[in-house]
Amino acid sequence: MLRSLTPLAIVLSMALFLVPAHAFETQARGAIVIDTSTGTILLNKNADEPQPPASMSKLMTLYVTFEAIRDGRLTLEEKLPVSEHAMSFGGSTMFLDTTDRVSVEDLLRGIIVLSGNDACVVLAEALSPDGTEAGFAQYMTQRAQQMGMTNSVFKNSSGWPATGHVMSSRDLALLARRIIEDFPEYYPMFAETEFEFDGRAPQNTQNRNPLLRLNIGADGLKTGHTQRAGYGLVGSAKQGDRRVVFVVNGLDTARQRAIESEAILSWAFRQFVEKSVIKKGTKVAEADVWMGRTDTVALEAMENVTTLLPILSSDEVAAEIIYDGPIHAPVLKGDELAKLVITPEGLPELEIPLYAAEDVPTGGFMIRLKTVSMVLLARLQAGPDADLASEG
């Protein structure tokens, strides 16, 4: 059976007051805020609801392109042709035409900084399994599913309004984290505030991300807007050793998007603090062992464990160790035996695997005889009614 040891309190290094975290009140239709260093979800509002993502879905086109460059199917210097289909798009564009051949690097900046719909289509047609944007969209959907983005379906490469073209806030946050972690060599492009392509679009040279010029650590990623989707932003910022990724979607105005995004970052960085909970190799507790040379085995964490807590929190955190016991000998050092469940005030539970800190060999004949004798004695003392009850 699952057995819970006596709930324990993990003493932290700072003595603080016991006050739950206050949830951020966002006007967005969908939102999520994640502290990436600990994986803690600080805010979840309809995060799994598929919604029109507008230009924020360009992040998937960028991710697939980064993969193609990494795999050698494209190079930054390679110049690609512009089709009539790519040239036909309105909205945010690089003002490309069919006489152009544009380098992949310029196309990437055209998407990241200028949100160019035409640039998306040029890359889509170059990487599509069948040479069409529709084929590329199908590939994007399949790749998203493989990456765990289960609420994403793409009908095009740019986020141009189309029935059934949807992503959830959680999927967008996952995609943002993958871009940051998988392609650090390209991520600095997302912090660029201006890109002038060939002098042909003076009215479209500025990055629309409202956070990049505020000196608050913001360095990405992508805005989005259509009439149906509203205003959205996939954002990220780093302050010290902490990074926060967030998504807001469905806001009413660009100004509201700017205000809410800045407020979210301020709240995430100022209202929460990362604290050490367990040091690697520290004995956390002991678990009972059956038929072992010793009656218990020490439990430890294999890695240093940190968690995010509200700044106005307690100096103790409620925690519980759960394992299926008693554990049968032999036990080998490093065997995963239990989990430590930590419940911070106002935040999701944190589960930490615990491992055997030492070997516990099977006991000798006398130990086994002693264990059997104790079991028999316990049954005799409990009486026949207890045995009948246990069989029911």
Q: Between 375 and 151, where is the model more confident?
A: 151
C-alpha 58: how far from its chain's center? 18
**Domain presence at residue 166:** yes
Residue 115 bears catalytic tag: yes
Q: Quick one: 296 and 349 in the same domain?
A: yes
pLDDT of the residue at 288: 87
**Domain presence at residue 370:** yes
**Domain presence at residue 280:** yes
Q: Give the active site residue among 45, 55, 157, 169.
A: 55
Q: Between 7 and 93, where is the model more confident?
A: 93
pLDDT tens per residue, range 32-44 = 999 998 889 999 9
pLDDT of the residue at 119: 98
pLDDT tens per residue, range 119-161 = 999 999 999 999 999 999 999 999 999 999 999 999 999 999 9
CA–CA distance, 98 with 147 (Å, rounded to integer):
34
Q: Quick one: 184 and 37 in the same domain?
A: yes
Q: Quick one: 78 and 154 in the same domain?
A: yes
Show Cβ contacts of residue 381 under 8 Å, excluding neighbours closer than 6 positions. none
For residue 122, the domain's CATH number is 3.40.710.10
pLDDT of the residue at 199: 81
Binned at pLDDT 50, 70 and 90, residue 15 comes out as: very low
Highest mean pLDDT among 53-57, 283-287, 377-381: 53-57
CA–CA distance, 288 with 121 (Å, rounded to integer):
62
pLDDT of the residue at 388: 40
Six-digit token string for 160 = 């141009």
CA-based diameter of the chain, in Å?
94
Question: What is the mean pLDDT of the segment spanning 12-37?
Answer: 69
Residue 266 bears catalytic tag: no
CB 7 within 8 A of CB 285: no
Note down the domain range covering 286: 2-15+276-361
CB 349 within 8 A of CB 332: no
Domain boundary among 230, 251, 270: 270
Cis peptide before 330 (omega within 30 of 0): yes
pLDDT of the residue at 343: 80
The verdict on pTM exceeding 0.85 is no
Question: What is the mean pLDDT of the segment spanning 230-255?
Answer: 97
Residue 58 bears catalytic tag: yes
Q: Give the active site residue among 45, 58, 155, 238.
A: 58
Show Cβ contacts of residue 376 under 8 Å, excluding neighbours closer than 6 positions. none
Lowest-confidence range among 52-61, 115-124, 354-363? 354-363
pLDDT of the residue at 222: 98
Q: Give the active site residue among 115, 157, 236, 313.
A: 115
Pick the closest to residue 192 from 129, 258, 110, 119 (CA basis): 110
Binned at pLDDT 50, 70 and 90, residue 307 comes out as: confident
- If one counts every other C-beta atom within 10 angstroms of the C-beta of residue 31, the result is 24
Q: What angle do CA 180, 182, 185 make, to 5 degrees?
A: 75
How much is the mean pLDDT over the chain? Answer: 87
CB 192 within 8 A of CB 208: no
Binned at pLDDT 50, 70 and 90, residue 279 comes out as: confident
Q: Quick one: 206 and 337 in the same domain?
A: no
Q: Which residues of 118-154 are buried (b: 16+ CB within 10 A; e: fewer)?
A: bbbbbbbbbbbeeeebeebbbbbbebbeebebebbbb
- Beta-strand (E) ranges in 227-349? 230-239, 242-251, 272-278, 283-290, 296-300, 305-310, 316-324, 327-328, 336-343
C-alpha 136: how far from its chain's center? 25
Highest mean pLDDT among 19-33, 185-199, 305-319: 185-199
Lowest-confidence range among 2-11, 15-24, 116-125, 303-312? 2-11
pLDDT of the residue at 328: 85
Question: What is the mean pLDDT of the segment spanning 284-298?
Answer: 86
- pLDDT over threshold 60, residue 274: yes
Pick the closest to residue 319 from 109, 6, 2, 8 (CA basis): 8
Binned at pLDDT 50, 70 and 90, residue 200 comes out as: confident
For the chain, the C-alpha Rg in angstroms (whole number) is 28
pLDDT of the residue at 362: 84
Q: From residue 16, how far is each of 21, 30, 347 by CA, in Å?
A: 13, 32, 17
pLDDT of the residue at 293: 84
Count the domains in the chain.
3
Q: Quick one: 215 and 77 in the same domain?
A: yes
**Domain presence at residue 75:** yes
Question: What is the mean pLDDT of the segment spanning 171-176?
Answer: 98
Q: Quick one: 126 and 263 in the same domain?
A: yes
Domain boundary among 250, 270, 290: 270
**Domain presence at residue 389:** yes
Q: Quick one: 194 and 204 in the same domain?
A: yes
Q: How many percent of the chain have pLDDT more than 70?
A: 85
pLDDT of the residue at 80: 98
Which residues are paired to 289 by β-bridges? 327
